Chain A
Amino acid sequence: MLTQPDFEKYAQTLQETMAAAIAEGEALNKLAAADREAAADVRITIQEKLNALETLGRQAAEKQVHEHRQQLKETIWEDVLNSVAAKLLHNGESADDIAKILDISERL
Chain B
Amino acid sequence: MMCRNFTTKLLHFTLLNMDYTDQYARIMQKMLADNAAAAEAVVAGARAEREAAAGEWQAARNQWQENEQNAAQILQDYTDKYRAQFEKYLREAITEKIAEHMLKKGKSVEFVMALLSLPARLMQTTVNTKLPLAERDLILEFMGMQTVADQAPGHRYRISHNSIVLY
Task: Show the binding face of A for B, using Cβ within 8 Å.
Answer: 2-3, 5-6, 9-10, 13-14, 16-18, 20-22, 24-26, 28-29, 31-33, 35-36, 38-40, 42-43, 45-47, 49-51, 53-58, 60-62, 64-65, 72-73, 76-77, 79-81, 84, 87-88, 91, 100-102, 104, 107-108
Contacts of B95 in A (CB 8 A): 80
Main SS at interface, chain B? helix
B43 contact from A13, A28, A54, Cβ within 8 A = A28
> 1/0 per residue B70-90: CB within 8 Å of A?
010011111111110111001
B94 contact from A53, A80, A101, Cβ within 8 A = A80
Contact A17 B19 (CB under 8 A): no
Contacts A6-B17, A21-B39, A107-B97 known; A39 to B49 CB distance under 8 Å? no
Contacts of A45 in B (CB 8 A): 64
A-B CB contact pairs (8 Å), 29 listed:
A10-B28, A13-B9, A14-B31, A16-B9, A20-B5, A24-B43, A25-B43, A29-B50, A31-B53, A32-B52, A42-B61, A42-B63, A46-B63, A46-B64, A46-B67, A47-B154, A50-B154, A53-B71, A56-B78, A57-B76, A61-B78, A61-B81, A61-B83, A64-B83, A76-B90, A77-B94, A81-B98, A84-B116, A91-B115
Task: Show the binding face of B for A, using Cβ within 8 Å.
Answer: 2, 5-6, 9, 13, 16-17, 19-21, 24, 28, 31-32, 35-36, 38-40, 42-43, 45-47, 49-50, 52-54, 56-57, 59-61, 63-64, 67-68, 71, 74-83, 85-87, 90-91, 93-95, 97-98, 101-102, 105, 107, 115-116, 134-135, 145, 149, 153-154
Contact A39 B39 (CB under 8 A): no
Contacts A14-B31, A108-B97 known; A62 to B115 CB distance under 8 Å? no
A53 contact from B56, B75, B85, Cβ within 8 A = B75
Contacts of A88 in B (CB 8 A): 115
Contacts of A53 in B (CB 8 A): 71, 74-75, 78
CB distance from B117 to the nearest CB of A (A): 9
Closest partner residue, chain B, to A104 (CB atom)? B101
Contact B17 A64 (CB under 8 A): no
A100 contact from B79, B105, B135, Cβ within 8 A = B105
Contact A38 B17 (CB under 8 A): no
A57 contact from B81, B90, B97, B154, Cβ within 8 A = B81
